[in-house]
Amino acid sequence: MCPCFHPVECVIPEHMLESIATHGTSAQRQAALNNIRVVYQLRAEQAMRASFKGLFDSAIPRAINNEKERVIYDAMRRDTLPGTVARREGDAPSSDPAVNEAYDGGGTTYDLFMKEFGRNSIDNRAMRLDASVHYRTGYDNAFWDGTQMVYGDGDEDLPTDERLFNRFTIAVDIIGHELTHGVTQFEAKLVYSQQSGALNEHMSDVFGSLVKQYQLQQSASEADWIIGGGLLTGNVNGVGVRSMKTPGAAYDDPVLGKDPQPAHMRAYVNTVSDNGGVHINSGIPNHAFYLTALEIGGYAWKKAGQIWYTALRDKLSESSNFQQCADLTHQTAGELFGVGSLEQQAVQHGWAAVGLTVSESGGKPKPSGCLEATLRFIGAA
Amino acid sequence: MEFTQIKFERSGGFANIRITAELNLRDLSDEQAIALKELLDELDFPKLPTKLTSGETVPDEFIYTITVETEKWQHTIIADGVPKDAKIQELLELLNRLARKKMRNL
């Protein structure tokens, strides 16, 4: 039986996708169109990278001494990046808490990746960690723009009793999350759409949470596994924006609505919003990671984190889906800790609990399985 | 541009809090209505392409969907958080401000 929940995410010839997009039912057409979009996006990105690889690589600012180097800028509430330098590596703390949070959070993220995974910054070649704070006015967001982190101040422009968000540097896991988007950009390059996009978000949540646990020296059972703790103001009924422990339970508020994350494949959300639900369906692999780390026990970055980091660096690719992530993390656990080891069993149990049965094929698409799935998809089997 | 309604949706972003608002002309102050009409005229909104995305994948950036309805036509555009055009940015920021305010006053 094919491990795919969404058969057209297997390797299906383009002409077949086009035919499904033209002649299928409404749901089939939508699924096929989503896949065609991913194919085109992949091709465009591959072509661009091939054309500009040398230029892009030489333009990356790197640490002079090949060690941790941070530069924090103040965007002065404008949208021009990066802004004015507010603190450089080794400078005394600023009087601005957002500057210090971006500096310290970037440092903790660098330390986790360097000391625990042997990775020297985002590109593993000592890329300088640039971040801009105070981006725009009333900007309730943070993002990685491909070269640097960018943080808004939340709802600072609204009256206190109407504010929902604090500044986005307030939680160290947000900083770890954004930096991990950079790591993913240099490694698996997961396409930011549908399941591969949800895995991109998942990896950022995993390492964002691990940065926080590493900073607090918490074990898996001690950690809260909340993403964005402290980000929501006291006006909101919520503890953060996502929960890896209990996806769907981070907030439930009259203004914000309810946390939409599922914790199981049976509740997978098909949507065109949010790049195909990348921040929604990430709840499924997030929960699998949490369960794996809890079963292994101890500090989550030591074993579960090592498995996921190795899979991100060496195994996952641009179009990986949830099933492949499950298979490849399981395979990685076997390589790192032994086939049948408690660690590998924990990975298997974690994925099983969210509705994904790991395959012994190691995440490689099985042609017969995909063919079977395709036939089922078009109603021929 | 005499619009009757503007539908606004913002999705994505690190927190993925979806903001939606249906802004009717009669619900807006004169100042807000004039500012919106002028912007839509300057942009020649019905002639804008449906997709105004930058083509760059920016993790955690916002995605905006805007539908303007008049008595004669309806037109939708989808834009991401980093459009190059300053007037588009101005429109997104104005609609975002109005939608945020409306969301909190429910």
Asked if A87 and A73 count as a contact pair (C-beta separation under 8 A), the reply is no
**Which range is least confidently modeled, A8-17, A89-98, A298-307, A353-362?**
A8-17
**Which range is least confidently modeled, A222-226, A230-234, A271-275, A364-368?**
A364-368
**Is B16's pLDDT higher than 80?**
yes
Q: How confident is the model at residue B55 (pLDDT cuts 50, 70, 90)?
A: confident
Dihedral of alpha carbons A312, B58, A207, A81, sign? positive
Check CB contact of B13 with chain A, cutoff 8 Å: yes
Residue A233, token pair as written in the block: 């103001």
CB atoms within 10 A of CB A109: 32
Which is nearest to A242 in space by CA: A254, A255, A258? A258
Q: What percent of chain A has pLDDT over 90?
A: 73
pLDDT at position A376: 46
In whole angstroms, what is the distance from residue A323 CA to residue A318 CA? 14
Beta bridge partners of A130: A71
**Is A286's pLDDT higher than 90?**
yes
**Mean pLDDT for the stretch of residues A66-78:** 95
Angle between helices A194-216 and A283-296 (to 10 degrees): 40
In whole angstroms, what is the distance from residue B84 CA to residue A250 CA? 35
**What secondary structure letter does DSSP report for A79?**
S
pLDDT at position A203: 98
Most confident of A154-168, A290-304, B86-100: A290-304
In whole angstroms, what is the distance from residue B64 CA to residue A207 CA? 28
Cα A259 → chain centroid: 17
Residue of B nearest to A236 (CA): B104
Residue of A nearest to B20 (CA): A256
How are beta strands B5-12 and B19-24 bridged, if at all? antiparallel
Beta bridge partners of B67: B7, B76
pLDDT at position A187: 97
Contacts of B56 in chain A (CB under 8 A): 146
Tens of pLDDT, residues A235-278: 999 999 999 999 999 999 999 999 999 999 999 999 988 999 99
**Is A213's pLDDT higher than 60?**
yes
Which is nearest to B65 in space by CA: B20, B27, B1, B15? B20
Asked if B60 and A144 count as a contact pair (C-beta separation under 8 A), the reply is yes
pLDDT at position A78: 93
List CB contacts of A314: < 8 A, sequence separation 6 or more.
A332
**Is A379's pLDDT higher than 90?**
no
**Mean pLDDT for the stretch of residues A215-237:** 97
Contact A279 B104 (CB under 8 A): no
Q: What integer best gives the mean pLDDT of chain B?
A: 88
Domains delineated in chain A: 70-170 (3.10.170.10), 190-377 (1.10.390.10)
Asked if A121 and A147 count as a contact pair (C-beta separation under 8 A), the reply is no
Nearest CB to A146: which of B56, B81, B100? Answer: B56
Cα A169 → chain centroid: 17
Better-scored residue on pLDDT, B20 or A18: B20
pLDDT at position A276: 93
Residue of B nearest to A261 (CA): B16
Q: Give me the amino acid identity at B69.
A: E
**Is A319's pLDDT higher than 60?**
yes
Check CB contact of B85 with chain A, cutoff 8 Å: no
Better-scored residue on pLDDT, A193 or A371: A193
Question: Which residue of B16, B53, B62, B95 to mutate against A (max A Cβ within 10 Å)?
Answer: B16
ipTM metric: 0.87
Using CA atoms, how far residue A186 sits from A169, A180, A196, in Å, is 23, 10, 15
Residue A260, token pair as written in the block: 């939409």
Backbone angles phi, psi at A208, to 5 degrees: -60, -45
Q: What percent of chain A has pLDDT over 70?
A: 79
pLDDT at position A10: 30
Tens of pLDDT, residues A84-116: 999 999 999 999 999 999 999 999 999 999 999
Peptide bond into A82 cis (omega under 30): yes
Contact A142 B60 (CB under 8 A): yes
Q: Give me the amino acid identity at A44.
A: A
* Active-site option among A178, A187, A201, A295: A178
Angle between helices A342-353 and A322-337 (to 10 degrees): 170
Q: Assess whether A178 carries a catalytic annotation.
A: yes
CB atoms within 10 A of CB A341: 15
pLDDT at position A15: 40
Q: What integer best gives the mean pLDDT of chain A?
A: 86
Check CB contact of B60 with chain A, cutoff 8 Å: yes
pLDDT at position A363: 46
Question: Which residue of A40, A163, A194, A275 to mutate against B (max B Cβ within 10 Å)?
Answer: A275
Backbone angles phi, psi at B24, to 5 degrees: -95, 145
In whole angstroms, what is the distance from residue A236 CA to residue B104 CA? 11
Task: Using CA atoms of A275, A278, A279, A280 in order, give the dihedral in degrees to the nearest 10.
Answer: 110
Tens of pLDDT, residues A8-58: 323 343 444 455 555 555 555 555 555 555 445 544 554 555 555 555 666
Better-scored residue on pLDDT, A12 or B93: B93
Asked if A103 and A72 count as a contact pair (C-beta separation under 8 A), the reply is yes
In whole angstroms, what is the distance from residue A64 CA to residue A62 CA? 6
Give the angle subtended at the CA of A220 by the CAs of A219 and A221, to the nearest 5°.
Answer: 90
In whole angstroms, what is the distance from residue A356 CA to residue A362 CA? 14
Residue B92, token pair as written in the block: 């997104």
